[in-house]
Structures are given as C-alpha cells and as structure tokens.
Structure 1
Amino acid sequence: MGVDRKAAIGDAAIEVIAAQGMRGLTHRAVDRAAGLPAGSTSYYARTRSALLELTAARMIELDQKEVEDPREGSLAEFLGAVVHAAITEGRTRVLARYEFALEATRRPELRAGYDAGGLALRRQCAEVLAAAGSRSPEGDTRVLIGWLDGSIFDALAGTGSRRPPSKDELTAGARAVLTGLGLAGV
C-alpha cells in the first residue's frame, strides 16, 4: 500500500504544482488533492524538500513508462504521438515539469534529480537514433530534444497554445527533423 500511496501523493503534487505553481505546493494541498486524510503526505514526505523529491521521482517514473511503450509505426509517428500526448493528456505533468525546471535553476538540490531524469531520456533517445542509423546520436539527440521541447512548450505556454498542433502536424514536424538529420524513412 505504501507504493500506491506514494504514487497517489506524487500524482496529486503534480496536479497542485501545475494548477498553483511551486508556491501552492503544501502538504495540506496535496492531502486535499489526493483525497487523503490530513497528515498523510507528511507521513511519506516530512519536509518540503522530501515532497519535491517524491514528486520529481514520480514524474520521472511516469515519463519512463510513456517512452517504454512499444512503438508502432515509424519513428516520426511515434514522436508525433509522444508530443501530442504531452500536450493533451500529459498537459498537467508537463506544466509541473516547467515549474520544476524553473525552480531547479534557483535550488541546486533539485537540479540533480531534475537532470537525472532528463539525462536518462536523452540516453534512450540517443540509443533509438543510433539504431535508426544516426552517425552522431548525441548531437542528433540534442536537435531532436530541442524540437520536442520547443513543440511542447509552444503548444502549452507559447503563442501556439491558441491552436495546438494536431498529431498529424506533429508527425510531419518530426519527419522533417528526422529527414534533416539524415534519418529519412524511419
């Protein structure tokens, strides 16, 4: 039950951060959002730092599950689907991640955990690109992650939020980036 309770607390904290920002993240707010008795969050995460760590770990866990799903179709279709999922059903988690990213620029204790999750995803991306024939997987990963992050940010917080792209538009964008990297047809 402890793991499920921690996941519920992490999920609720993500919702609180996305809705209210980092300042809104309190143990009580998470208890309310999770529908738990008062003091439940404090039992699993005594301090604010511990709550932030628990939340970051939950975001990383959810990110890993998302990219571990078996890929159907081309790499461009997979990437288009991942970005589309991030701007639709994953919107709350991405908004919370933006809050974490900004907070990590001011709080070094958050930076390590935040970067660990991002580096793990970058390693996976480099492996996929290497398998697809990239001659420079690390460099190509930087370009591809830049497109992914930029597309997501624009659709959620930028001017593109007025009309977020469709899955087909995102797939076309991914295909254009992959073609530019010399990975046409993947």
Structure 2
Amino acid sequence: MPPVSDRRTRIADAVITLLAEQGSRGLTHRAVDAQAGLPKGSTSYYFRSRAELLGAAAPRLAELDIALVDQGGNDPASFMGHILDESLSGVGRIRTLARYELMLEAARRPEIHAALTAGTNRFRDKLTSLFPLADPQEARLLAGDVIAYMDGLFLSNITSPQMQRQSAVELKCRLARFIDLGVETSHE
C-alpha cells in the first residue's frame, strides 16, 4: 500500500486530470478513484466531500506550477516562451485547463483562491525579477499585466477550435511584443 502522502498526491493529480477532461461536473469520488487507479471508496476516505477534492487539487497545481517557474529562463521572453511551451500541450495543457476550472471555483471558494494565489505569486515574483526596470513596483505591475495578457492568450487559444488556434511561435511573438511594449513604456 503506498504511503498516505503518495495516495493524496495521486488523488490530487487525478482531480486535475478530471477537471481538464470533464470539467467540474465530471468530478465525483468514483471518477477520481477510477482515474487514480484506486479501489472504490479510496478517495472518499481521504477527501470526504467534493469541496475537499477541489481543495486538494489547488495546492497540487500550485506545486506543479512553482516547479515549472523554477525551470524557466533568465530573461522575460525566454521565461515566458518556456511557460507557453509547457502550458499548451501535453500534460501542461491538462494543468492549464484544470487551472481555469479551479479559477472559476475560486471565485466562490476562498480556500481554493488562496492556494492558487500562492502559485501565481511565485510566478509573478519570478517574472518581476527578470524585468530590467529601476522601479521594483513598476516591474511588479508589468509582471501582473503580462500574466493577465498571457492568461487571455491561453484561454482564447485553448478554447478555440483546433484549426483556429495560434501556433506556439505566433503566441511567443505576441507575448514578446507585449513584454517589449511594457518595458519601453515603463522606461518613459
């Protein structure tokens, strides 16, 4: 039998996958058991309610996001390019879809909001440190603007039909232009 922390992590990962594949309506204890490859009833032993399942996914997602941030480049464009590459395909796309599902839940559940905010703050701090601006507050504001812009691009891209999605190269160019514009404007 795997240790409790391993089971909790497997369950949280299964919740993330289910949120991405089926949305929050598909999140049931039975579905999580099946997704995690656990015997029936296992999930409800660790997480009694649906709210607890969502609460388990948010910090796990933040943990995965923080690991992704720590792997990024050392300038804004390469860092954002790395995030983009890792967020729109494969397992990263699953996390992105789950994140948007959790963001909607967070609007009504403060505990989920707090967990997601931890990951976002780490992301903003890293991005802020990469901007060559004299005023740290300006760099933080620019980082927030870049994150908001990136979220808009990701949401638009991930919800569009396949043939209307922009390529990673196109998205990187748009992000780089936005970053350059923000840095130029902040220097004025």
TM-score, normalised via structure 1 length: 0.84
1:75 maps to which residue?
Answer: 76
Is residue 127–residue 143 contact of structure 2 (8 Å, CA) maintained in 1?
Answer: yes
1:101-136 per-residue CA deviation (whole Å, 9 max, x = no partner) reads: 11222334433333333233222322232xx33631
Q: 1:18 aligns with which of 20, 24, 37?
A: 20
2:146 is equivalent to residue 144 of structure 1: yes
Tell me, which stretches of 5 or more residues in structure 2 are unaligned?
none
2:115 is equivalent to residue 113 of structure 1: yes
Provide the alpha-carbon RMSD of the alignment: 2.1
Is residue 76–residue 172 contact of structure 1 (8 Å, CA) maintained in 2?
Answer: no
Q: What amino acid is aligned across from residue 133 of structure 1 in structure 2?
A: L
Q: What amino acid is aligned across from residue 116 of structure 1 in structure 2?
A: A
Figure out how many residues of one structure are paired with residues of the other and give that number.
Answer: 179
State the SS of the aligned residue for 2:40.
coil
1:14 shift after superposition = 0.8
Q: Distance in 2 between matches of 1:70 and 1:111?
A: 24
Q: What amino acid is aligned across from residue 133 of structure 2 in structure 1?
A: G
Structure 1 stretches of 4+ with a deviation exceeding 6 A read none
1:167 maps to which residue?
Answer: 168
1:49 maps to which residue?
Answer: 51
> What does residue range 175-186 of structure 1 map to in structure 2 within 5 Å?
175-182=176-183
1:92 shift after superposition = 1.3
1:33 maps to which residue?
Answer: 35
Give identity over the alignment, percent: 37
Which is bigger in relative contact order (C-alpha 8 A, separation at least 6)?
A: 1
2:71 is equivalent to residue 86 of structure 1: no
State the SS of the aligned residue for 2:48.
coil
Tell me, which stretches of 5 or more residues in structure 1 are unaligned?
none
1:126-175 per-residue CA deviation (whole Å, 9 max, x = no partner) reads: 2232xx3363112111221122111111110147x533333322332222
Is residue 55–residue 112 contact of structure 2 (8 Å, CA) maintained in 1?
Answer: yes
